[in-house]
Amino acid sequence: MARSTTSNVASLVVVRHGESEWNVLGKWQGRADTQLTESGRAQARDAAEHISRNAFAFERVVASSLRRAHDTAAIIAEHLGLAAPVLDDRLVETDVGPWEGLREHEIEKAWPNYLRDRRTPPDFEPPEEVFARATTALRELAQSRARVLVVSHSGVIRTVRRRLNVHDRRLRNLEGCSFGLDAESRLVAGDYVTLVAKSRPVTNDAV
C-alpha cells in the first residue's frame, strides 16, 4: 500500500541541487563532482528568497557532500542566516557506473532500450542500496523533529519515492518533496515542493 502522506507534520523538505555544468551539457553525473553554473547559484539565491517569503522556518540545512549539492545548500543557508550545512555522504547521487558523463543518446546507442525498460548496466548502484543509505539519513533527521532543508539529487529522491510506492516524476533543479514520519515512525513521502519559479528541464540521473 502506498505511503504518500504524513500523519504528523512533515519535518523535512528534500530538493535537488541547483543547475550544474553537466546539467547544461545533458550528461549523467552520478558521483562526478561537478560545479554549479552561475544560473545554479542564482537559483539557490532565489530558493532562499522563496523560503523566506513563504515562512518555511527551517532550523538546519543538510546536504550531500557532492559540490553541486553542498554549494547550493551553503548559498541558501547563508541567505537564511543559518549555520553552514552539515554534509552527509549517505545523500550523494546514485553511482551510475559506466553511464557517468554520457548523454542519453549515447546511453541508448550502447545499451539499447535500457532507459525505456529501466534497466541498468553492471556497476550501477542498485536502487535498494540507494534507498537504504538515503532513508537511514532521512529517518535520523526526521526523528529530531527539527525543520530541516536537505539538498540532495534527483536520482536519490526519485529512488526513495519509487521504493515507497508513491508517484514519481522527473525533477527540475530546486524541486523535490517533503518527508516525515507516520504514527508508526515509518518514513513517508509528502507533496512535491518547488523552490524556484523557473528552471529548465535537465537530464536526471535516475531510471
In CATH, what number is assigned to the domain containing residue 182?
Answer: 3.40.50.1240
When divided into structural domains, the chain yields a total of 1
139 SS3 class: helix
pLDDT per 10-residue tile (average), the chain, 207 residues: 45 96 96 97 97 90 98 98 98 98 97 96 97 98 94 98 95 96 94 87 81
Residue 206: per-residue pLDDT: 84
Q: How far is CA 47 from CA 70, 87, 94, 151, 174, in A?
A: 14, 19, 24, 12, 7
Q: Is 201 exposed, middle or buried (0-12, 13-18, 19+ CB in 10 A)?
A: exposed
70 carries an active-site annotation: no
CB 173 within 8 A of CB 202: yes
Domain that holds residue 148: 12-194
Domain membership flag for residue 6 = no
Report yes or no on 162 lying in a domain: yes
Residue 7 maps to a domain? no
Cell numbers at residue 117, please? 525498460
- Asked if the structure places residue 4 within a domain, the reply is no
Instruction: Point out the catalytic residue in the list 19, 70, 93, 153.
Output: 93
Does the annotation count 38 as an active-site position? no
pLDDT of residue 198: 72
123: which 3 cell numbers? 556497476
Can you give the pLDDT at residue 4? 45
Q: Is residue 51 part of a domain?
A: yes
Q: Is residue 93 in a domain?
A: yes
Residue 54's pLDDT is 86
The predicted model scores a pTM of 0.93
